[in-house]
Copies of this chain bind each other. A is one copy, B any other.
């Protein structure tokens, strides 16, 4: 057997995740069958499931990749910037919608919920740290606990995800995000 370098393994893994993301976005969680995952990645099921145990693991790995990128943007520019980026890129609707489709699993399958919450934990931590830095810099309002401001921003983010996933128009949401941002800052 040829030796496969770590770089090659990482590249293959990345390739599978990109194809899986497109497949979940297009067909939804239930609709992303093994056959469709093969088509979208251009790889056999053997190759795919050599890297990921099952469809759940694949889905959670795509979500974890997404979360890492999102946490990095939050740390750098804040959760409102993540929202502005989503607004500028409405073809993410398919993938956001697929995330909503697993809500029932999250309420009824504790193991799945546990793995999912590791994903959202990284984003929550980045949001919290960024808000604390902003408060130290005197930018944030100081009459409301940081934890409440964090939940408020997360609520707005969740609302935007639902809005986009339901295919609603986005052209008038820019000023709404301005209002969200202003609500956590010093007047």
Tell me the count of chain A residues lying within 8 A, CB to CB, of chain B.
41
A residues 96-113 in Cβ contact with B at 8 Å: 97, 100-101, 103-104, 106-107, 113
| Chain A contact residues, majority secondary structure | helix
Give A9-48 interface residues, CB cut-off 8 Å to B: 28, 30
| A86 CB within 8 Å of chain B | no
Which residues from B are CB-within-8-Å of A101? 100-101, 103-104
Q: How many angstroms from the CA of A176 to the CA of B175 in the assembled complex?
A: 20
Q: In this assembly, does A172 line the interface, its C-beta being within 8 Å of a C-beta of chain B?
A: yes
Chain B residues with CB below 8 A from A97, complex form:
103-104, 107
A138: Cβ under 8 A from any B Cβ: no
Interface mask (A114-151 → B, CB under 8 Å = 1, otherwise 0): 00000000000000000000000000000011011101
Given A97-B103, A107-B166, A179-B183, A155 contacting B159 (CB threshold 8 A): yes
